[in-house]
Chain A
Amino acid sequence: MSTITKAAAPNETPVKRDAPLKIRKRKTKRTAGDWTILAVAILVGIAIAVPFYLILINSFKSPADYSSGGPLQLPTQLSFDGIINFWNRVNFPEKLLNSIFISLAVSIFAVIVSVLNAYAIGIGRVKGRTWIVVLFLLANVLPQEALLYPLYFMFKSVGLYDNIWSVIIIFTVIQSAFGTYLLSSVYGTFPKEILEAAALDGATRWQMLWRVVVPISRPTLSVLVIFFFIWTWNEFLIPLTFLVSNANQTVPIAIASLQGDRLMDVTTTSASALLGLIPTLVFFLIFQRTLTQGITAGAVK
Chain B
Amino acid sequence: MATVPPETRTRGLGSASPEDAPPVSVRGSRRSAGYWLYLIPGFVLITVIVVIPLIWNIYLSFTSYRGIRPPEWIGLENWVELMGDEKFWTSFGNSVALIIAMVVIPTLVGLVLAAMLFDLVGKKFGGKVASFLRATYYLPQILPVVVGAIVIGWILRPDNGALNEILRNIGLGALAHNWLGSPDTALASIMVVMVWIQLGYPVVIFMAALSRVDPELYEAAELDGANWFQRFRSITVSIIRPEIFVVVLTSTIAALKVFGPIYTLTRGGPGDSTIVPSYYSYSEFFQSQQVGYGATIATALTIVIVIVSVFFIKAQNRAEEAEGTR
Contact = CB atoms under 8 A, between A and B. Distances in A.
Chain B interface size, under 10 / 10 to 19 / 20 to 34 / 35 or more: 35 or more
B306 A295 contact: no
A37 B146 contact: no
Interface in A174-212: 174, 176-177, 180-182, 184-190, 192, 195, 205, 209
A72 interface: yes
A51 B297 CA distance: 35
Residue of A66, A119, A234 most packed against chain B (CB within 10 A): A234
A16 B254 contact: no
Interface of A: 4, 8, 15-16, 19-20, 23, 27, 30, 34, 37-38, 40-42, 44-45, 48-49, 51-52, 54-55, 58, 66-67, 70-72, 113-114, 116-117, 119-127, 129-130, 132-139, 141-152, 154, 169-170, 172-174, 176-177, 180-182, 184-190, 192, 195, 205, 209, 219-220, 223, 230, 233-234, 236-237, 240-241, 251-252, 255-256, 259, 266, 269-270, 272-273, 276-277, 280-281, 283-284, 288-301
A143 B286 contact: no
Contacts of B205: 295-296, 299-300
Contacts of B7: 185, 189
B154 A116 contact: no
Residue of A55, A152, A236 most packed against chain B (CB within 10 A): A236
A264 to B, nearest CB: 10
Contacts, number: 351
B241 interface: no
B18 A121 contact: yes
Nearest to B162: A71
B113 A48 contact: no
Interface pairs A-B: 5 shortest CB-CB: A124-B35, A188-B18, A297-B4, A150-B53, A71-B162
Interface of B: 1-5, 7-9, 12-13, 15-19, 21-26, 29, 32-39, 41-42, 45-46, 48-50, 52-54, 56-57, 60, 113, 116-117, 120-121, 123-125, 129, 133, 135-137, 139-140, 142-147, 150-155, 157, 160-162, 165-166, 169, 196, 199-201, 204-205, 208-209, 215-216, 219-220, 222-223, 243, 246-247, 250, 253-254, 256-257, 259-260, 263-265, 277-278, 281-282, 285-286, 291, 294-295, 297-299, 301-302, 305-306, 309
Contact of A269 (B154, B169, B259): B154
Contacts of A176: 42, 45
Residue of A15, A188, A284 most packed against chain B (CB within 10 A): A188
B21 A55 contact: no
A48 B196 contact: yes
A142 B140 CA distance: 24
Contacts of A259: 150, 153, 264-265
Contacts of A301: 250, 253-254
B22 A192 contact: yes
